[in-house]
Amino acid sequence: MSGSDLFTGTLDILILRTLAPTPLHGYAIGRAIRDGSEGVLSVEEGALYPALHRLEARGLLEAEWGKTDTGRRAKFYQVTKDGHEHLGREAARWVEFSGAVAAILGPDER
């Protein structure tokens, strides 16, 4: 698995996870990921959008234009049924994978 694939897959899961409970617009998603990861996953923030659009194209997300709390027009993303299923599968895989990596690296390395 190449680094970019790893990253792409990770970002997808993070987005789906973030959106799972409630629809959000792009900025809110970015902010939630930043806050949630405590800045560890600080990447080029703009990379969020290609990921969002790609997920939308794959039918894992649905988008709709709506109004923000302050009345601004914004595109809200929402996880579809396919998206929820995908998230379930990938999250399980990810936990398994990161567990395996952690086991190999061992407590000494921490």
Partner 1 sequence: MSRWPFRRSFRPGQVRANPGDDIHEEIALYLELRAKELEDEGISPEEARRLAEERFGDPGKIERKLRQQARRRQVQEEMTMTMGGLKQDLAYAFRTMRRSPGFTLVAVATLAFALGGNTAIFSVVDAALLRALPFQQSEGLVFLNGYHLVDGEISIRGASFPEFRDWRDRSRAVSPMAAVGGMSFALTGDGEAEQLATEVVTGAYFEVVGYSPVRGRTFLPEEHDEPEAHRVGVISHGLWERRFGLDPAVLGRDIVIDDRPLTIVGIMPVGFGGTNLNTDLWVPEGLMGANALEQRGSRFLTVIGRLTAGSSVATAQGELDVIARDLQEAFPREHEDRFAQIVSFRDGYLGTTGGLLWILMGAGGVLLLIASANVANLLLVRSHGRTREIVLRRALGAEKGRIVSQLLTESFVLAVVGGVAGLGVAAWALLVLAPMIPAGVLPGYVEPRLSASAFAFSLAVLTMVGGLTGLVPAVASTRLDIATRLREGAKAVGGGRRLRAQHVFVVAQVALALVLMVGAGLLTRSFRAQLSVDTGSEIEGVQALRVRLPGGRYDSNETIWAFATELERKFSSLPGVSSAALASDLPFRGGFSASYIFREGEGEDARIRYHRHSVTGDYFATLGMKLAEGRLFNADDIDGAPGVIIITSAMAARVYPGERAVGKRMALRPDGTNEVEIVGVVEDVLYRNLTTSLMVEANSPDVFFSFWQIPSRNVEVAVLTTGDPSVCCDPRAACHAKGSGGGVGIGVDSGSHRCPSKGKPACDSEIRSARERVQVPFRSGHVLHRGADPDHRAAEGL
Ranges within 4-43 binding partner 1 (CB under 8 A): 25-27, 30-31
- Residue 45 Cβ, how far from partner 1 at the closest point, in Å? 5
Q: Is the dihedral of CA 57, 91, 21, 84 positive or negative?
A: positive
- Which residues fall within 8 angstroms of residue 55, CB to CB, at 6 or more apart? 12, 15, 16, 61, 77, 83
3-class DSSP state of 44:
coil
Tell me which stretch binds partner 1 (CB under 8 A): 4-12, 13-21, 49-57, 95-103: 49-57
Q: Which residues bind partner 1 (CB under 8 A)?
A: 25-27, 30-31, 44-47, 49-50, 53-54, 57, 65, 72-75
